[in-house]
């Protein structure tokens, strides 16, 4: 895992909106898990899904003890990639107006008599995280579009199309989040060579096996030509990301090889992210 974002701040300041923006930018988002469970969840995702961008929503529904242990949680998360903390805040009167308009209770409403007391207590609870934050955003009088622009700027990202290349195995089901699915099950299958079975499409023995087949080159060129032609059109249509899924039977050899080769061909022009969905099943 390359980048982990912790998104937190005062309730009503736009945390859910920020996570939606990050999801549009290709981040895998998880919200409202207890703080103490995050290192275990992130370790599992890193081990089994090969994610490159992860955003974690944290708020005061975590216990006070968890908040006080935030430094230890932060250190554990850093084992899996670079960690940035986005802290959202809003002026008290704006928060009161937002809660009044939405008629939703504050997460601490069962502990205090007034909304202003909830807001003040929440600030105190979030201090351990706020002190570690390196991206601070005041959302007072900011629209969702403003928030998106600020996030893009502060995270060093542009509003360009992100291409997500995903390998998968048909025996585990077709991914529901795919914009395009390419089937490469007709290519020669390394699985039937007992010496190659334990490798993946990222390993040289499998690469040599597949590259010895003219069909492999022809299939790759057809997929690449299609993407090269149409990705600019999607970018001009203000798409934030496209998920291109390539499937073989088990999701270990042929689809992995094609995805890796596409990455090398596309990354000179596009921001590319890789997900090998069946990595946890590889022998």
Q: What number is the average pLDDT over the span 189-197? A: 96
15 is in an annotated binding site: yes
Shared domain for 166 and 150, answered yes or no, is no
* Domain termination site, one of 108, 135, 154: 154
* Domain termination site, one of 93, 123, 154: 154
Shared domain for 139 and 214, answered yes or no, is no
Shared domain for 101 and 195, answered yes or no, is no
245 is in an annotated binding site: no
212 is in an annotated binding site: no
169 is in an annotated binding site: no
Q: What number is the average pLDDT over the span 79-102? A: 88
- Please report the pLDDT score of residue 168 as a whole number: 95
16 is in an annotated binding site: yes
CATH of the domain at 94: 3.40.50.300
φ, ψ of residue 273 to 5 degrees: the values are: -120, 145
Domain count, the chain: 2
Shared domain for 132 and 169, answered yes or no, is no
Shared domain for 11 and 120, answered yes or no, is yes
59 is in an annotated binding site: yes
Shared domain for 127 and 267, answered yes or no, is no
- Please report the pLDDT score of residue 153 as a whole number: 65
pTM (global) more than 0.75: no
Ranking 99-108, 234-243, 249-258 by mean pLDDT, the lowest is: 234-243
100 is in an annotated binding site: no
Shared domain for 175 and 111, answered yes or no, is no
Shared domain for 22 and 95, answered yes or no, is yes
133 is in an annotated binding site: no
- DSSP letter at 275 equals E
Q: Which residue range(s) make up the domain with 85?
A: 3-154
What does 4-31 look like in DSSP terms, one character per residue? EEEEEESTTSSHHHHHHHHHHTT-EEEE
Shared domain for 28 and 143, answered yes or no, is yes
11 is in an annotated binding site: yes
Shared domain for 216 and 81, answered yes or no, is no
pLDDT digits over 7-60, tens only?
Answer: 999 999 999 999 998 988 888 999 988 888 899 989 888 888 778 889 999 887
pLDDT digits over 109-147, tens only?
Answer: 888 889 999 899 888 888 888 888 888 888 887 888 778
* Domain termination site, one of 122, 154, 186: 154
251 is in an annotated binding site: no
State the DSSP H helix or E strand holding residue 86, giving kind and residue range, or none if neither.
strand 82-89
Which residues lie closer than 8 Å to 49 by C-beta, 6 or more apart?
A: 28, 275, 277, 279, 280
């Amino acid at each position: 895992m390359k980048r982990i974002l912790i998104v937190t701040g005062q309730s009503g300041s736009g945390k859910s909106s920020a996570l939606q923006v990050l999801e549009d930018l290709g981040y895998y988002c998880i919200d409202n898990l207890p703080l103490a469970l995050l290192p275990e969840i992130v370790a599992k995702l890193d081990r089994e899904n090969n994610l490159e961008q992860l955003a974690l929503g944290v708020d005061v529904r975590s216990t006070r003890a968890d908040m006080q242990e935030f430094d230890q949680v932060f250190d554990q998360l850093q084992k899996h990639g670079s960690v940035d903390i986005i802290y959202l805040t809003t002026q008290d009167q704006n928060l009161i107006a937002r809660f009044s308009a939405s008629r939703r209770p504050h997460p601490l409403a069962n502990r205090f008599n007034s909304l202003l007391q909830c807001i003040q207590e929440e600030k105190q609870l979030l201090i351990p995280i706020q002190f570690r934050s390196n991206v601070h955003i005041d959302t007072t009088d900011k629209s969702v579009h403003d928030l998106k622009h600020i996030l893009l700027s502060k995270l060093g990202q542009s509003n360009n199309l992100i291409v997500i290349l995903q390998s998968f195995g048909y025996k585990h089901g077709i991914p529901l989040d795919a914009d395009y699915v390419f089937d490469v099950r007709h290519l020669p299958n390394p699985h039937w060579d007992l010496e190659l079975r334990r490798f993946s499409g990222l390993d040289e023995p499998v690469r040599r096996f597949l590259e010895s087949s003219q069909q492999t080159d022809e299939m790759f060129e057809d997929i690449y030509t299609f993407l090269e032609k149409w990705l600019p059109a999607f970018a001009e249509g203000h798409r934030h990301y496209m998920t291109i899924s390539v499937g073989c039977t088990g999701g270990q050899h042929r689809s992995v090889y094609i995805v890796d080769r596409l990455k090398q061909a596309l990354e000179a022009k596009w921001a590319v992210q890789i997900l090998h969905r069946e990595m946890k099943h590889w022998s």
